[in-house]
Amino acid sequence: MSEPKSKSDLPPGEIPVPKAVVSRLSLYLRELQHLVRDGHQRTSSSQLGRLLGFSDAQVRKDLAYFGHFGHPGIGYRCDDLIKAIRKILGTDRDWPVAMVGTGNLGRALLGYKGFSHQGFRIVAAFDIDPQRVGATIEGVRVFHLDQLTQVVEANHIKLGLIAVPAPAAQAVADQLVAAGLEGILNFAPVTISLPDHVRQVGVDLAIELEQLSFSVVSRANTNGADGE
């Protein structure tokens, strides 16, 4: 949230990094992985910027938060930059993940291939519905929520996904915290309170659509005058 201090004061890795920069890192990583898949070994700030709709200055500035990756006249080596970004994002390791809730959304997330590409492996699912407990969905066993602590410890799980109805989300979050999780991705459309040491990212799909309707409506209102 806070503005970055002067970068020269602090070594890379200790500079507070604005949220927007971190989310752009994920976009750079995604494009770099596509470039490698398409056979490219090198890229440049202008190519990355063009692919993502950012200026090349923006790309260079973002990456400079974390050290010096580029080589003048050569650009970036895709593999090196991928490795560096994965290290920054913490996805240079495997993250076993717990999934709570196996309704429609939970099931879709269990089948979502994009997670494992980035090192996130859903290793256990939890529910309280006797019809669901004991089932295997997309290769993932569904446990009763009562077994949470035990399964979390056995699998060294640090991250959890919440895909339960809104009224149940806070109680589930409390149980995840008690079981020792350090980060929660919350898909329930409600704000949950967590202790300071546990990190939270919320994804509310209706809110994403609202952001879209806002930009469509405000564009119509200003008749396109306010481009972005």
Q: Are 98 and 84 in contact (CB under 8 A)?
A: no
We find the least distance from the C-beta atom of residue 146 to its own copies, in angstroms, to be: 25
Other CB atoms within 10 A of residue 212 CB: 10
Please state, in angstroms and as integers, the Cα–Cα distance from residue 173 to each residue in 170, 191, 196, 226, following that order: 5, 11, 13, 41
Judged by beta carbon, residue 154 or residue 205, the one nearer its own copies is 205
Q: Which distant-in-sequence residues (6+ apart) come within 8 Å of 173 by Cβ?
A: 162, 184, 186, 192, 193, 194
Judged by beta carbon, residue 57 or residue 217, the one nearer its own copies is 217
Please state, in angstroms and as integers, the Cα–Cα distance from residue 37 to each residue in 31, 34, 70, following that order: 10, 5, 20
Judged by beta carbon, residue 19 or residue 68, the one nearer its own copies is 19
Judged by beta carbon, residue 73 or residue 195, the one nearer its own copies is 195
Q: What is the DSSP letter of 189?
A: S
